[in-house]
A and B are shown apart, each in its own frame.
Chain A
């Protein structure tokens, strides 16, 4: 069965620290990869997405993610986090040709000011 695994459920960082959130998926076909973010009290919104081409994709607010096909991974990174990055982050995978998007369990990030 397809699945998405996020390595950390809770992460606490100080402002200006670097961030890397791990995401691995199990599916052998062609996939579409997403990171969504949910800020406190707000709806889920797209942070970035990968479909094809350059495996390093850039999203909003300075976030980027790298798709490594051989490792079935799509890790999210940010060089220097801000207090306003406090949120829950979800990795998601959709396979081309299907309608279902599968989500990971989410990672709660808390950034200390």
Chain B
């Protein structure tokens, strides 16, 4: 079974701090994604990557960056955290999204920025 592991379940940071959210998947999936989940808004795509060192902006990339140095690891970076980035962050991976592969999600990281 696919396992997507996010390094932290809960995180509290101060405004202006640089924040790293880490995600690792163990099934050799090519595609990895970062979403944020907010009540009433569903999931919104921040960034995704379809290969090592490749990244593409999603729908809400402002204030975020990503890094994918190894196939199994996809990091989300908040360069200077702000209170409006308080949210649940979900990492996901998929084998071949072009055809029939669904997303496999991690448990999420609930980030609070004070």
Residues on A lying within 8 angstroms of B by beta carbon are: 4, 6, 9, 32, 34, 36, 42-46, 49, 51, 90, 92, 94, 96-106
Digit string of B25-60 for contact with A (CB within 8 Å is 1, else 0)?
000000101010000111111001010000010110
Is B107 located at the chain interface by the 8 A CB criterion? yes
Are A32 and B90 in touch, CB under 8 angstroms?
A: no
B2 → chain A, closest Cβ, in Å?
10
Report chain A residues within 8 Å CB of B62: none
User: Beyond A43-B108, A94-B97, is A101–B40 a contact (Cβ under 8 Å)?
Assistant: no
Are B58 and A100 in touch, CB under 8 angstroms?
A: yes
Are B48 and A44 in touch, CB under 8 angstroms?
A: no
Are A97 and B42 in touch, CB under 8 angstroms?
A: no
Are A105 and B41 in touch, CB under 8 angstroms?
A: yes
> Which residue of the partner chain, among B35, B48, B102, contacts A46 with CB atoms under 8 Å?
B102
Would you mind naming 5 contact pairs between A and B with Cβ atoms under 8 Å apart? A51-B99, A97-B98, A99-B97, A102-B45, A103-B35
Report chain B residues within 8 Å CB of A98: 97-98
Q: How far is the CA of A51 from the CA of B44 in the complex (A)?
A: 22
Report chain B residues within 8 Å CB of A51: 99-100
Are B100 and A43 in touch, CB under 8 angstroms?
A: no
Q: Which 9 pairs show the lowest CB-CB distances between chains A and B?
A: A103-B43, A44-B105, A103-B42, A105-B42, A46-B102, A43-B105, A43-B107, A106-B42, A51-B100
